[in-house]
Structure 1
């Protein structure tokens, strides 16, 4: 479980195939169920992710944004059953550099090592960085997301 000045990563072995894990991660409608932060409320418009460059919009809430808000999420990494990643931004804005990265490594037919990274190394706007306490998302919250993912996959 890595932590740097600009990213936090956690890892967990999940008792499910990489395909089953990826099926949950690639469906934004499932993201509120996975969220360990309490920020994600629901998908606003979001089809299953099938390629780099897609976007999906989420309904969110958080004191860091003054309450309810929406995000647009640009898919930046997509390798079926291996990797899914997106950069997030307030709806209607270009992503300032925050990225969520889910990496899957099969450990046999029914086990997958999942690494979740929250990375803000590409955020360059000093005003944004000054407003947001770093890290906005904690290691514990990421671990909660992996626990929720394990539960979601076992019940899917």
Structure 2
């Protein structure tokens, strides 16, 4: 699922917000994403950042560990959410969040993609099906991102 929006900010400003785990709550239109557990700015592929989450249907509060899978400053950032296993290794669920940025005059064309193609049927059934929200959620996410950059 993919949506795009032109945001009146530079690609550098957009990317800086997306690479800061403390600002991820600013990209979510509801109340699922809470505060960051890890405060270090994302620096590259393989980085892991943890975010406090709250979804009633998922049992309330939990921590999501996100593995960065694509990183090109001011152009692309992508991560796969997951959970650490008993050894501390993060097992991801097969879905990815990806932002691609393209300068558009004094603004940036931001494309947000939610890809669940690697999610197993068992994992999808466990969380009530994929995707867990509609296209309107992604559109609202980009509106939230734009509002956060305007402040």
State the TM-score, normalizing by the size of structure 1. Answer: 0.88
Conserved? CA contact 1:17–1:112, under 8 Å: yes
Q: Which residue matches 1:3?
A: none
Query: Which segments of 5 or more consecutive residues in structure 1 lack a partner in the other structure?
Result: 1-7
Q: How large is the RMSD of aligned CA atoms in angstroms?
A: 1.3
Corresponding residue number in structure 1 for 2:40 = 47
- Structure 2 CA distance, aligned partners of 1:119 and 1:32? 20
1:94 aligns with 2:91: yes
Match in the other structure for 1:5 = none
Q: How far off its partner does 1:128 sit?
A: 1.1
Task: Say if 2:136 is the partner of 1:140.
Answer: yes
Query: How many pairs are equivalent?
Result: 146
Tell me, in whole angstroms, the C-alpha distance in 1 between the residues paired with 2:84 and 2:33. 14
Structure 2 counterparts to residues 106-125 of structure 1, below 5 A: 106-108=103-105, 110-124=106-120
Residue 150 of structure 1 corresponds to 146
Contact 1:73 1:86 in 2 (8 A): yes
Secondary structure at the residue paired with 2:92? coil
Give, in whole Å, the separation in 2 of the partners of 1:47 and 1:41: 16
2:24 aligned with 1:24 = no
Structure 2 unpaired stretches of 5+: none
- The yes-or-no answer on 1:104 pairing with 2:105 is no
2:122 is matched with 127
Counterparts in 2 of 1:37 and 1:117: CA distance versus 1, 3 Å:
farther
The answer to which of 74-83 and 44-53 deviates more is 44-53
